[in-house]
Amino acid sequence: MKTDRLDAPRVALGVSGGIAAYKACELLRRFTESGHQVTVVPTAAALHFVGEATWAALSGRPAAVETWENVHEVPHVRIGQQADLVVVAPATADLLAKAAHGLADDLLTNTLLTARCPVVFAPAMHTEMWEHPATQENVATLRRRGAVVLEPAVGRLTGVDTGKGRLPDPGAIFEACRRVLARGVREPDLTGKHVVISAGGTREPLDPVRYLGNHSSGKQGYALAATAAARGARVTLLSANATLPDPAGVDVVHVSTALELREAALKACADADAVVMAAAVADFRPAEYATGKIKKKDGVDPAPVALVRNPDILAELSAHRARPGQLVVGFAAETDEVLANGRAKLARKGCDLLVVNEVGGGKAFGQDVNAAVLLGADGTETEIPEGPKETLAETVWDAVVARLG
Ligand code: C5P
pLDDT in the model for residue 161:
80
The mean per-residue pLDDT over the stretch 226-231 comes to 88
Strand ranges for 110-215 from DSSP E: 119-123, 148-149, 153-156, 162-166, 194-200, 204-207, 210-212
Annotated domain spans of the chain: 10-183, 194-404
The mean per-residue pLDDT over the stretch 3-16 comes to 83
State whether the beta carbon of 277 lies less than 6 angstroms from ligand 1: yes
The mean per-residue pLDDT over the stretch 72-76 comes to 71
- C-alpha to C-alpha distance for 166 and 114, rounded to whole angstroms: 28
State whether the beta carbon of 310 lies less than 6 angstroms from ligand 1: yes
Residue of 263, 277, 341 best suited for mutating to test ligand 1, as the one with most atoms within 8 Å of CB: 277
Nearest CA to ligand 1 atom 2: 332
For the domain covering 10-183, report its CATH number: 3.40.50.1950
- C-alpha to C-alpha distance for 105 and 60, rounded to whole angstroms: 26
Q: Which of 41-55, 145-159, 213-227, 236-250 has the highest mean pLDDT?
A: 41-55
User: Which residues are identified as catalytic?
Assistant: 214
pLDDT in the model for residue 1:
47
- C-alpha to C-alpha distance for 379 and 133, rounded to whole angstroms: 44
The mean per-residue pLDDT over the stretch 61-88 comes to 84
State whether the beta carbon of 398 lies less than 6 angstroms from ligand 1: no
In DSSP notation, 274-296 reads EEEE-SB--SEEES---SSPPPP
CA angle (251, 230, 84) in 5-degree steps: 140
pLDDT in the model for residue 185:
62
Of ligand 1's listed atoms, the one at least distance from the Cα of 349 is 8
User: What is the percentage of the chain residues whose pLDDT exceeds 70?
Assistant: 94
Name the 3-class secondary structure at 305. Answer: coil
Q: What is the CA radius of gyration of the chain?
A: 24
Distances (CA, A) of 346 to 61, 220, 305, 331, 339: 55, 19, 31, 9, 10
Fold match flag (10-183 vs 194-404):
yes
235 C-alpha vs ligand 1 centroid, how far in Å?
Answer: 20
CB burial of 342-364 (b: ≥16 within 10 Å; e: otherwise) equals bbebbeebbbbbbbbbbbeeeeb
2 contacts: CB under 8 Å, gap ≥ 6: 32, 37, 60, 61
Q: The whole model's pTM is what? A: 0.73
In CATH terms, the fold of domain 194-404 is Rossmann fold (3.40.50)
State whether the beta carbon of 258 lies less than 6 angstroms from ligand 1: yes
The mean per-residue pLDDT over the stretch 103-129 comes to 94
State whether the beta carbon of 283 lies less than 6 angstroms from ligand 1: yes
pLDDT in the model for residue 366:
63
